[in-house]
Amino acid sequence: MPIIEGKRKRCLSLTLTSDIYLKNFLAKGPAMKSMNLVMCSIIGYVGVKDVAQILLDGLERLEYRGYDSAGITGLKDGTFTSVKQLGRVKNLSNAIKPSMNFGNLGIGHTRWATHGKVSVKNAHPHVSFHGLFSIVHNGVIENYESIKQYLAKQGYKFYSETDTEVLVNLIEYHFRKEPDSENRFLVSVQKALLHVRGTYGIAVLCKNNPEEMVIARKSSPLIIGIGKNEMFVASDACAFVAYTKNVVYLNDGELAHITCSDFSITTMKNETIDAVKCELDWKVEDVSRGEHEHFMLKEICEQPISIENAMRGRFSDDLSTAKFGGLQLLPRELRQIDRILFCACGTAWHACLVAEYLIEKYARIPVEVAYSSEFRYGNVPLDKNTLVFIVSQSGETLDSLAALQESKRKGYRTLAITNAIGSTIARESEGGIYQHSGPEIGVASTKAFTAQLCIVAMLALLFGRLHNMGFDEGSEFVQSLLELPKKISQILDKKDEIQRIAKKYANCKDMLFLGRQSMFPIALEGALKLKEISYIHAEGYPAAEMKHGPIALISEQCPCVFLATQKDIWQKNISNIQEVKARNAKIVVVASEGHQISPDHIDDLMEIPDTHDALKPILATIPLQLFAYYIAKARGCDIDKPRNLAKSVTVE
Ligand code: M6R
């Protein structure tokens, strides 16, 4: 990200004159550019409890992220005790002997191999050559090879193939050069990080400081959990929510020095930062699977509640429009907006496409939708009354964060729609709307997506009422929104039937999803859900586009899922269904109650309750989520941890 990169360069020239040799050396050395999804997890603890138990508990709660090895290190009486294992956290727990005493300060990690193969040696935590430091690290140190060469010349030896071991040695190198002082530990980490290019979330222990931990972040989330006489750190608050809900999110370029009773935050230049504390509105049950086999199924089933939460307190007293205090815009200012740009990635981008249909239809305001990754490097011309929304469930997606920063740099009012209170995107935006979906743990986004759909429908209502939508139309819209949770429950009650249908399609290799207007993004989402968790190749198209190319794929082996929920374009959908049927493809239809589809034209039907047109995308999504889930289950896929995917993508 250009802004942060600029800061880093200034720091180098300001503070590192004493390290001119290392600086020159690194300037010549190669930088290894890596493009991996960050799937690793960090947990750390300092307090009075048995650290091993807390670390293992935290790592178990973060298991959904996917990993190939795990490890913990405790620091007691000046000695590091470490255990690392390949595979599951359970293997790690089993490897811990009762005689081991990890003390009350420690760090833990689950690793997804990036630099170096999957092996115990490469697993974290890593210890420095002289044994003074232990570290866990998420992210990628791009210039690790040149640092490694430099350190090797200073006599350092390396036992793993990782970039992380290089970083911990760089910290030790600075520590050994640093005069003894109260801040020696923190300053050494600061100095090491000033030489580093890449991304990191790190937690570091130092033998000489047996009651302290230092953490730092750049483009990889880290959160401090504040307890009573104990502190937690984690890459995801799920890890410690059972112990505390009081948190502080670390910003990019910040470090924190933590003891059991206190913490302080500084920048790389050692400026003190005032911590912004917030309280998570999560319950412990939110981060456990409960009676459900997978988080994804649990989260699908939570949608009556998550939709209710997305709406709570957000209607006018006369129930004729929506209100969002977080926008921090007066009705007069909202009326002046004559263009809206939405930026997002993946599933959130699909929610933005629905926003485009709804806001243009109900409020007559032109809407553009951009992939965050395209927007950040493009030069979309926007006029001065453009409002920009960045939509991100996690609030940490790097491309969306960069889009937000680019939009702010250009001077647009930039707001966020996010589920993660206090996340980087939430903090850096100029206001916005929280989804209140509760933590979403399954990698495949479900309840967060429908909450986004609900919010964008409410934005269409809000803008519509400011322009040309009358009181009665607004009241009918609100009424339909209020009925959504009950209608979602009705669909969920039919999940066994959807499972029966899904099983019939579990062996296919390709599938097409087709829909018109606001059902087109839902077709994209249905296809994305299926490919993410079942690995079946699936594509979504506007139904009428089929005859411009995709129809060539249609055969008995390529089933088509039609989203035929709208009354006004009913006949158009029927014609497309017939075109496909004539080519012997199996047809699954999602239709609203009261439809007139003849059973002769289709193979399977998933019915949803009728609702306001603007809300059909929400209801039509639920059977598609269940359909994808049960297909993946029938294929024996690892549903909560699909291959190659991460819950939040904090690298480019
Ligand atoms: O956290 P975000 O909403 O910014 O994430 C965006 C995408 O990475 C995310 O929606 C992704 O496509 C999911 N795996 C979809 O299920």
Residue 521 structure tokens: 């993004």
Residue 8 is predicted with a pLDDT of 27
Residue 335 structure tokens: 């009326």
Per the CATH hierarchy, to which homologous superfamily does domain 289-482 belong? Glucose-6-phosphate isomerase like protein; domain 1 (3.40.50.10490)
Residue 21 is predicted with a pLDDT of 42
**Interval between CA 128 and ligand 1 midpoint (Å):** 36
- Mutation test of ligand 1: which of 343, 396, 445 has the most ligand atoms closer than 8 Å to its C-beta? 445
The answer, yes or no, to whether any atom of ligand 1 lies below 6 A from the CB of 392, is yes
Q: With beta carbons less than 8 A apart as the criterion, state whether 134 and 168 touch.
A: yes
Residue 113 is predicted with a pLDDT of 77
Q: With beta carbons less than 8 A apart as the criterion, state whether 380 and 367 touch.
A: no
Neighbours of 185 (CB within 10 A): 23
> Cα(5)–Cα(78) distance, rounded to whole angstroms?
37
DSSP-assigned beta bridge partners for residue 517 = none
**Interval between CA 449 and ligand 1 midpoint (Å):** 9
Which of helix, strand or coil describes residue 317?
coil
Strands 272-273 and 263-267: what pairing?
antiparallel
Smallest Cα–Cα separation from 241: which of 420, 82, 416, 72? 420
* Amino acid letter for position 573: N
Please tell me the residue having the least CA distance from ligand 1 atom 4: 392
Residue 139 per-residue DSSP state: S
Query: Cα-Cα-Cα-Cα dihedral of 516, 522, 523, 529, to 10°?
Result: 180
Q: With beta carbons less than 8 A apart as the criterion, state whether 67 and 49 touch.
A: no
The string of pLDDT tens digits covering residues 8-49 is: 222 322 233 334 445 544 444 433 333 334 468 999 999 999
Residues in Cβ contact with 99 at an 8 Å cutoff, skipping those fewer than 6 apart: none
DSSP-assigned beta bridge partners for residue 224 = 233, 248
> Cα(287)–Cα(570) distance, rounded to whole angstroms?
42
> Cα(167)–Cα(137) distance, rounded to whole angstroms?
9
The string of pLDDT tens digits covering residues 303-334 is: 999 999 999 999 999 999 999 999 989 999 99
> Cα(205)–Cα(76) distance, rounded to whole angstroms?
11
The rounded radius of gyration (Å) of the Cα atoms in the chain is: 26
> Cα(126)–Cα(130) distance, rounded to whole angstroms?
12
Tokens 């199924």 found at: 297
Which of helix, strand or coil describes residue 498?
helix
Residue 66 is predicted with a pLDDT of 65
40 is catalytic: yes
The torsion angles phi and psi of 536, rounded to 5 degrees, stand at -85, 135
> Cα(60)–Cα(39) distance, rounded to whole angstroms?
14
Residue 639 per-residue DSSP state: T
Longest dimension (CA), the chain: 83
Per the CATH hierarchy, to which homologous superfamily does domain 493-652 belong? Glucose-6-phosphate isomerase like protein; domain 1 (3.40.50.10490)
Residue 440 per-residue DSSP state: -
**Interval between CA 359 and ligand 1 midpoint (Å):** 22
> Cα(398)–Cα(652) distance, rounded to whole angstroms?
6
* Amino acid letter for position 268: M
Please tell me the residue having the least CA distance from ligand 1 atom 12: 346
- Mutation test of ligand 1: which of 393, 644, 652 has the most ligand atoms closer than 8 Å to its C-beta? 393
Q: Locate all alpha helices (DSSP H) within 76-162, ordered by sequence.
A: 89-95, 144-153
Domain 3-10+20-284 matches domain 289-482 at the CATH topology level? no
> Cα(428)–Cα(513) distance, rounded to whole angstroms?
36
> Cα(19)–Cα(8) distance, rounded to whole angstroms?
15
Q: Give every residue of the chain whose pLDDT is below 70, as ranges.
A: 1-39, 64-66, 650-652
| Catalytic residue (choose from 11, 40, 260, 343) | 40
Of all atoms in ligand 1, which is nearest to the CA of residue 347?
10
Tokens 């697993």 found at: 123
Indicate the pTM of the whole model: 0.77
Strands 200-206 and 213-218: what pairing?
antiparallel
Tell me the fold of 3-10+20-284. Answer: Glutamine Phosphoribosylpyrophosphate, subunit 1, domain 1 (3.60.20)
**Interval between CA 648 and ligand 1 midpoint (Å):** 7
Return the domain boundaries, the chain.
Answer: 3-10+20-284, 289-482, 493-652
Residue 115 is predicted with a pLDDT of 73
> Cα(110)–Cα(113) distance, rounded to whole angstroms?
10
